[in-house]
Every structure is written in structure tokens, then in C-alpha cells.
Amino acid sequence: MKFYSLQTVMILSLAAAVFAVGCGQSNHVPESKADKKATLIAEKKGDHEGWWCSEHGLPEGECSQCDAKVAAEFKAKGDWCAEHERAKSQCFKCDPKLKDKYAAIYRAKEGKEPPETEDDSPSKK
């Protein structure tokens, strides 16, 4: 009787340990993935460096995609690409050469290549 109950306790505790480990693993995988994503977002935001819009590849204060006021100014001038919803003079999709023009501003100020823009990332993957 004594032996039987000890064995039962051992089996139960072993099962509990396996269950706990299995449970812990299934809980931890999505958690660490979420952490990684949060870190990536934080890093991406850090890329802004205050003045540069790394998402769109031009100075933040001139970004017609981020600032509605800037967008309104371009629209008022008739400088607008309705297809891509940004200033025509900033539409890298219509004129890829414009990207170089803005990249040159970044290079002059930071002494390095600008970070990849939102548009670059999906096409390179």
C-alpha cells in the first residue's frame, strides 16, 4: 500500500512536470515572438533620428505621407500624385530618381546611406 502510493505520487509529479514544461513552452513561443516584434517596431521608430522619415525616405518635415499639413501644401500647388497619395515631387514610385535626390540630402547630413524605405522592403524579400 505504501509502495503503491509512492509510485502514484511519482507518476503524478512526473506527469505534472511534463505538463508544466509542455505548457510553458506553448506559452512562451508566441510571447517571445511578440517581444521580438515589439523590439523591431521600437528599432524602426529609432531609425527616424528626429528629422528623417525612414519609412518614406525623405526629411520628416517634408514628408507628404506623414504630415497632413505638408500634404495640403503640395496639393494646393498642384504637386500631387493621386495614384500613390503623396506629392508628385516625392513620388519615388513614379520617378525613382527622386529617391536619390532625397538620399543625397541624408548622405550629406549623416555621412551614410539612408535606411531602407517602406517601399524597398517588400520588393527585396
Q: Which residues of this chain interact with Zn ion, rule CB under 5 A?
A: 53, 55-56, 63, 65-66, 81, 83-84, 91, 93-94
Shortest Å, Cβ 99 to Zn ion: 12
Selection from 81, 38, 34 nearest residue 56 by Cα: 81
Q: Which is nearer to Zn ion, 55 or 114 (CB)?
A: 55
Torsion, Cα of 29, 35, 40, 44 (10° steps):
160
Q: Which is nearer to Zn ion, 35 or 85 (CB)?
A: 85
- What burial class does residue 43 get, using C-beta atoms within 10 Å of its C-beta: 0-12 exposed, 13-18 middle, 19+ buried? exposed
Q: Which is nearer to Zn ion, 65 or 71 (CB)?
A: 65
Shortest Å, Cβ 27 to Zn ion: 37
